[in-house]
Each structure stands twice: as structure tokens, then as C-alpha cells.
Amino acid sequence: MKHLNLSLAAATLACMTLMAGPAQAEDKIVIGLITKTDTNPFFVKMKEGAQAEAKKLGAKLMTASGKKDGDTASQINAIENMVTAGAKTLLITSSGDAIIPAVKKAQAKGVQVIALDSPFEGADALFATNNYQAGVLIGQYAKASLGGKPAKIAMLDLFPGHPVGAQRHNGFMSGFGLKAFDAKSNELSSTPETVCAADTDGNQAKGQTAMENCLQKDAAINVVYTINEPAAAGAYNALKKAGKEKGVLIVSVDGGCAGIADVGKGVIAATSQQYPLKMASMGVAAGVDYAKGGKKASGYVDTGVTLIAGKAVAGVDSKDVKTGTDLCWGKK
């Protein structure tokens, strides 16, 4: 009987141990990261930042993305799956307002939702670059670089209605000294100096096509604003094909390693560098704080922006290509 009792005790202990394992796993803080795509180096770096911070803080990170920018269906599916899996905080770079009903359903279940990079209605907080200021910086640089010469500007935008695209566009125009909408508007400003505007979806091939069309509209364009560095690379290809690459100033936003390399080569004159790793790591930390203390993040947190220029110009604060390379994201 004594041996039987010992066996029963051992079996009971083993059963309790097996039960404790899953319970402990379930107690781990779960945070979800949902990006627009999983191929853009910006979002790859964001994922790296989230993974590193989650490991450091002992949290479990779930990740998902759209198939392309604008794929809200995949993002909605990810929101629903992550909430079901126990995520208490979702970090989302929104592809569009279609995700908002799913976000509200998640919040109704006590989930904290933080917007990264791209603002959207109803998010508890936004951790992002000041995209308007990013535009202002390259606008100021372009204006100073022209040295008083009349401007003929091509605006190579994202797509209509997106707040990040509007903020960068309008910020550039404000920095250039042109009449522009403020940072709260999703409308794109236009003045006589902006002789051409076209959508690129932030894509190199579409950026090239847009620039080719703009040159047909006005061959005397001397400044090109681009929503991001892939669009800038496409614009440069079109200008080079037309034999005009030496007489046109291209400015952009992002600060990826490929873009910074293009600044070093003179393809892009200057770019406003943003910091996706910082956005994501701060988001994960806020998720852990919420799980432990119950206090949600709120408001807007500026994650910083720096002007990186191939050549410094008087009156505009900038950093050099080496600094940009040290801080860039993507393959160096």
C-alpha cells in the first residue's frame, strides 16, 4: 500500500506539472504586430525592433502582414486571429480605414490598439514619425538649394486620401514656402509652382512612369518631391533616360539604407530619415506596461526624424551620409 500511495503521489505531481506548463505559457504577455507588408525593409526593421524588445521583456510576439500596401482584408483577418489567440495589445501599421470596425471590436474586448507609422481613427495611441515635419525638412532643403531660381515642381505622391502621403506632401510645400494645408488635412495642396502631380503607390516602377508623364507635361521641371525613396529611384531613372538627371533636384522621405546610398551617389539630394525600429520597440514596451499595470498608452509619440543630405546648405540643419548610414534600415 505504501508503494501504491507513493506511485499515486508521483502521478499526481506529474499531472500537476503537465497542467502547470500550459498555464504558465498562457500567462505570458501576448502582443501582436500587423504591418502593411512583410517585404518592405521599413516593416522588416519594424519587426526586428518588436522581436528584440519582446525577447528583452519576456513577451510573446505574434506577427502578420498584408500581401501589399492597401490589403486591409489580410490585416482584418490578422486582428481577429490575434485577439482570439490572447493578444492584449495590437501594434498596427494600417493599410486603410476598412480595419477600423475590427479594431473597435478588439478594443471592446479590452485590447489596446496602438497605431505605428500610419494614424487611423480610434487607435488608443500613435507612435510615429512626424510626417509633416519630414516634409517640411526636405521642402526647406529644396528651396535653399535652388538659390532663388524659379521652381517647377513635380509631386510624386502615394495615393489619394492617405494621411501619411498628405502630411509629407503638404509639409514639403510648407517647408518650400508655398501655400499648403496643415497637418490635419488629407487633401493635397497645389500651387502654380507644382506643375505636375501623380500617384506612385510608393513603388519604383510607378515612380518612373509618373516622372515620365510629368516630363511630357513640363520638360522644365527642376525639383521632384517623392513620397519615398523607391519612388525617388524611379524618378531618377526617368530623368536619366531623358538626359535630365543633372539638372533636377530630387528629395524624399524614409531613410532606408538603399535610399541613403542613393543620397551618397547623388541620385537623391536629401531625405528625411525615420526610425521604424524605435516605433516598434516602444510599442512592445507599452504593451507590456498595459498588461502589467492596466494603463493604456494615449496620444501621439514622436519617434523622430532627421534630414540626411549629400551636401549641406546654409540655413538648413542636416546630417551627412555617414550618419544616415549608421542609422539606416535594410541592407547596407
Nearby residues of 231 by Cβ (< 8 Å), 6 or more positions away: 156, 200, 202, 203, 204, 206, 207, 210, 252
Task: Quote the pLDDT of residue 9.
Answer: 42
Coil, helix or strand at residue 226: strand
pLDDT at residue 126 tops 80: yes
Please tell me the predicted confidence (pLDDT) of residue 26: 52
> Residue 96 contacts by C-beta under 8 Å, 6 or more apart in sequence?
70, 72
- pLDDT band, very low/low/confident/very high, at 27 (cuts 50, 70, 90): confident
**For 234-247, how does the pLDDT look when each residue is reduced to its tens digit (9 = 90+)?**
999 999 999 999 99
Confidence (pTM): 0.82
The more confidently predicted of residues 213 and 19 is 213
Residue type, 63: T
pLDDT digits (tens, 9 = 90+) for 138-158: 999 999 999 999 999 999 999
**Environment class of residue 216 by beta-carbon count within 10 Å: exposed (0-12), middle (13-18) or buried (19+)?**
exposed
Pick the residue with more confidence: 34 or 26? 34
The DSSP code for 39 is: S
Looking at residues 200-226, what average pLDDT do you find?
A: 97
- pLDDT of residue 15 exceeding 50: no
The predicted-structure confidence for 79-122, as pLDDT tens digits, reads as follows 999 999 999 999 999 999 999 999 999 999 999 999 999 899 99
pLDDT digits (tens, 9 = 90+) for 166-208: 999 999 999 999 999 999 999 999 999 999 999 999 999 999 9
Categorize the per-residue pLDDT at 20 as very low, low, confident or very high, splitting at 50, 70 and 90.
very low
Tens-place pLDDT, residues 42-84: 899 999 999 999 999 999 999 999 998 889 999 999 999 999 9
- The mean pLDDT value of the chain amounts to 92
Q: What pLDDT score was predicted for residue 8?
A: 41
What are the angstrom distances between the C-alpha of 116 and each of 32, 53, 204, 211? 12, 15, 24, 30
Round the CA-based radius of gyration of the chain to a whole number and report it.
24
Average pLDDT on 303-317 reads: 97
Element (H, E) at 128: strand 125-128
Percentage of the chain lying above the pLDDT 70 cut: 92
- Strand 299-302 relative to strand 125-128: parallel, antiparallel, unpaired? parallel
User: Rounded to 5 degrees, what are φ and ψ at 240?
Assistant: -65, -40
Distances (CA, A) of 251 to 95, 114, 186, 308, 332: 24, 30, 21, 10, 20
Inter-axis angle of helices 257-265 and 229-241, nearest 10: 30
The pLDDT of residue 13 is above 60: no
